[in-house]
């Protein structure tokens, strides 16, 4: 009896409200569209949002430690630009481009860590500054490499990208 009461309390918890909403959405869309509940659709959803899931897992750590990282989106953009340049502009092999992107992300994370741990700047302020730095780097790279960027786009090498 005690086990059933604790189970009801857990299932009725406010923390599980999002889970119940998610289950309701899946049921509604499964009823409205027979294609929604297919394995192909599940694969499409998982592959389309896998990068967001990876970033969300990484964002859990600063939040669990009581901090916040505001620079994630702009660093993601900077890493994407590095991988883009490495593959389409400099014609490097895929593994080299991925390695360059990983190193860019790691260096940005280490820079954030240095500002927070060694310089003792609050995480909100440090990552806000990094957001501004990496965002301005993207604008600068876009302006200086505009002709090379346009040349790649004109050749149709980005036609398969969303």
Rounded to two decimals, what is the model's pTM? 0.64
Residues 36, 55 within the same domain: no
Residues 98, 155 within the same domain: yes
Residues 16, 95 within the same domain: no
Structure tokens at 66: 């009581």
SS3 content of the chain, % helix, strand, coil (to 5): 80, 0, 20
Place of tokens 């959803």: 45
Range(s) of the domain holding residue 161: 50-162
Residues 67, 136 within the same domain: yes
pLDDT score of 158:
42
User: Among the residues of 33-93, which ranges form H helices?
Assistant: 39-48, 50-64, 72-84
pLDDT score of 161:
41
Residues 30, 59 within the same domain: no
Number of domains making up the chain: 2
Burial (0-12, 13-18, 19+ Cβ within 10 Å), 126: buried
pLDDT score of 97:
95
As a whole number, mean pLDDT of residues 46-54 equals 85
Sorted by sequence, the CB contacts under 8 Å of residue 147 that are 6+ apart come out as none
DSSP 8-state secondary structure symbol assigned to residue 36: T
Residues 62, 34 within the same domain: no
Tell me the per-residue pLDDT of 128-158, one tens digit each, with 9 for 90 and over. 988 888 766 555 555 555 555 555 444 444 4
Place of tokens 């149709």: 156
């Amino acid at each position: 009896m005690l086990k059933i009461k604790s189970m009801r309390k857990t299932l009725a918890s406010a923390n599980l409200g999002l889970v119940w909403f998610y289950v309701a959405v899946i049921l509604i869309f499964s009823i409205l569209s027979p294609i929604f509940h297919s394995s192909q659709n599940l694969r499409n959803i998982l592959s389309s949002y896998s990068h967001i899931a990876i970033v969300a897992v990484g964002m859990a750590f600063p939040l669990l430690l009581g901090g916040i990282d505001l620079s994630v989106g702009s660093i993601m953009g900077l890493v994407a630009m590095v991988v883009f340049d490495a593959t389409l502009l400099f014609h490097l092999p895929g593994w080299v481009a991925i390695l360059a992107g990983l190193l860019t992300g790691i260096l940005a994370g280490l820079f954030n860590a240095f500002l927070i741990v060694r310089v003792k700047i609050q995480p909100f302020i440090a990552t806000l500054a990094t957001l501004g730095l990496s965002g301005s780097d993207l604008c600068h790279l876009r302006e200086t490499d505009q002709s090379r960027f346009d040349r790649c786009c004109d050749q149709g090498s980005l036609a398969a990208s969303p």
